[in-house]
């Protein structure tokens, strides 16, 4: 199952988050490949015309392959433990999903219509996180999920 992180905003290559994301996604690809997970890619979109959340939603929607499982990252979403997140990925894979797309909105979050289109809505907690940091957290959780499913010792429950 291919994984795409569709996110609003461009992360500069020199941003401190960039090497962390690259490292975790590389680890995810290595660990996940034998499990039928990955690789993961990031698709960045940017609304240069100032159309707000609806314009961002249109750009994000273009990043969703036909038939993909859509997972919105939203402060109102469900909070999952790492093992539960791993189980969600495994369930999507086992159900035959070829693609899973994680949506990360801009500074004002996701447009409600796009958020409602998602099959799953997840939250990294009650606190609001900067959307660039959410990318790092998601990349790490993807890697952690792969290690959990592989039975590796990275996750200590």
Instruction: Give the model confidence (pLDDT) of 63-104 as tens digits.
Output: 999 999 999 999 999 999 999 999 999 999 999 999 999 999
* DSSP codes joined into one string, 91-109: HHHHTT-SEEEEEE-BTTB
Average pLDDT taken over every residue of the chain: 95
């Amino acid at each position: 199952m291919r994984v795409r992180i569709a996110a609003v905003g461009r992360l500069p290559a020199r941003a401190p988050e960039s090497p962390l994301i690259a490292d975790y996604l590389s680890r995810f690809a290595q660990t996940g490949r034998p499990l039928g997970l990955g690789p993961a890619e990031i698709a960045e979109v940017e609304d240069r015309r100032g159309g707000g959340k609806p314009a961002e939603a249109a750009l994000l929607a273009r990043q969703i392959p036909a038939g993909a499982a859509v997972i919105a990252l939203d402060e109102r979403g469900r909070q999952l433990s790492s093992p539960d997140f791993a189980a969600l990925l495994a369930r999507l894979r086992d159900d035959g999903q070829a693609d899973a797309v994680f949506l990360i909105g801009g500074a004002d979050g996701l447009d409600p219509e796009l958020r409602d289109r998602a099959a799953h809505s997840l939250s990294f907690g009650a606190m609001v996180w900067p959307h660039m940091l959410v990318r790092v957290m998601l990349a790490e959780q993807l890697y952690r999920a792969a290690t959990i499913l592989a039975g590796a010792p990275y996750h200590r429950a």
